[in-house]
Amino acid sequence: MGMILFDLLFELALIFYFAATIVSIIELFKDTKVTSKIILSLAGTGFAFHTVNIIYRYVTAGHIPITNFHEATSFFSWCIVLIFFMLAFRYKIKLLSSFIMPIVFVLMLSSSMLPREIKPLSPVLQSYWLEIHTVIAFLGNAAFALACGIGIMYLVQEHHVKSKRPGGLFGRLPSLQTLDELNYRLITLGFPLLTLAIITGALWAESAWGSYWNWDTREVWSLITWFIYAIVLHARLVAGWRGKRAALLSIIGFLTILIAFFGIKLLRKGLHVFL
């Protein structure tokens, strides 16, 4: 009975995100006044089901539901939608959903295809670090996902302005400066979270296995990601790498995150066996 309800909530969230994605893509081609409201209400409904699904799993399992790959991917999407709504209400960026909802939908679709049963948690992992480490890590990654979406928007708008043929989305996309600043802001949000995730991960590793750093595949990839975003920030402050370069790097950074996230799962190696 419990499993059926999980599934139902998850499926509903998936369906509403799918609908929001479709309308978001339509919005790219057809400029109407109502689409953005429709998108927000569809995504909002999906988010509500999604939240209940996560809470319900939490209560049933007795710990945060980020202990198998299905849950992790689902929680990752949830964090992205959360930050998306924060941006949508704070900055009212037009067309943002067209560049974010597809990412959310693809993640949710992958999540839906993974085994969903709650397995008993290995005693090694039963620690408050589980909650702290995973939530921080996924919130950080979600901020980078948004930075990637904004980076793509920047490249599209930059292309319009540079090519001297402002057509297409030129009129509706925000200004280059707005996009660049938002991209920077998201990275300055994601970077400390990523740093903190690595630190809490190390502390957790120490308490579980007795050593802070084990050169586990995920650890290595987090380090690579950390360096990429460190370069983004450093180059910006020192050499003025803003605009197009910053946008490109934030896209590369997020691709690295995705490769690390899904790649490790496919290889099934290392200490992060559950994720």
Partner 1 sequence: MKVIVVGLNHKTAEIEVREKVAFDGSKLDEGLLSLRGLPEIEEAMILSTCNRVELYVNVKDPVQASESIKTFLSEFHNVNRELLDKSLYIYDDINAVRHIFRVASSLDSMVIGEPQILGQVKDAFEMALEKKTTGILLNRLMKKTISTAKKVRTETRIAENAVSISFAAVELAKKIFTNLSGKVSMLLGAGEMAELAARHLISNGVKEVIVANRTYERACELARDFNGRPVKFDGFLQEMVRTDIVICSTGASRYVLMKDQMQKVMKERKQRSVFIIDISVPRNIDPEINALDNVYLYDIDDLQGIVDTNMFERKKEAEKAEKIIEEEIEPFLKWQSSLDSVPTIIALRDKAEEIKREEITRLLHKIPELGEKEKEAIEYMTTAIINKLIHPPTAALKEDSEDRDILIATIKRLYGINGEEKK
List contacts with partner 1 (CB under 8 A): 31, 157, 160-162, 164-167, 170-171, 173-178, 181, 239-245
Q: How far apart are CA 247 and CA 186, in angstroms?
A: 12
Q: Which is nearer to partner 1, 8 or 237 (CB)?
A: 237
Cβ at position 241, least distance to partner 1 in Å: 7
Task: Please tell me the distance from the alpha carbon of residue 179 to that of residue 188, in angstroms, as a whole number.
Answer: 14
Question: Considering the complex, what minimum distance in angstroms separates the CB of residue 244 from partner 1?
Answer: 6
The neighbour count for residue 86, using CB atoms within 10 Å, is 11
Rounded least distance, CB 164 to partner 1, Å = 4
Q: Which is nearer to partner 1, 226 or 241 (CB)?
A: 241
Q: Which residues are CB-contacts of 86 (< 8 A; sequence separation ≥ 6)?
A: none
In angstroms, give the least distance from the CB of 102 to partner 1.
24
Are the beta carbons of 76 and 141 closer than 8 angstroms?
Answer: yes
Question: What is the closest distance, in whole angstroms, from the C-beta atom of residue 160 to partner 1 in the complex?
Answer: 8
Helix axes 244-267, 176-209, angle to 10 degrees: 30
Judged by DSSP in three states, 118 sits in coil
- Count CB-CB contacts under 10 A for residue 92: 10
| Residue nearer to partner 1 on the CB measure, 180 or 219 | 180
Sequence letter at residue 228 = I
Nearer to partner 1, 167 or 210 (CB): 167
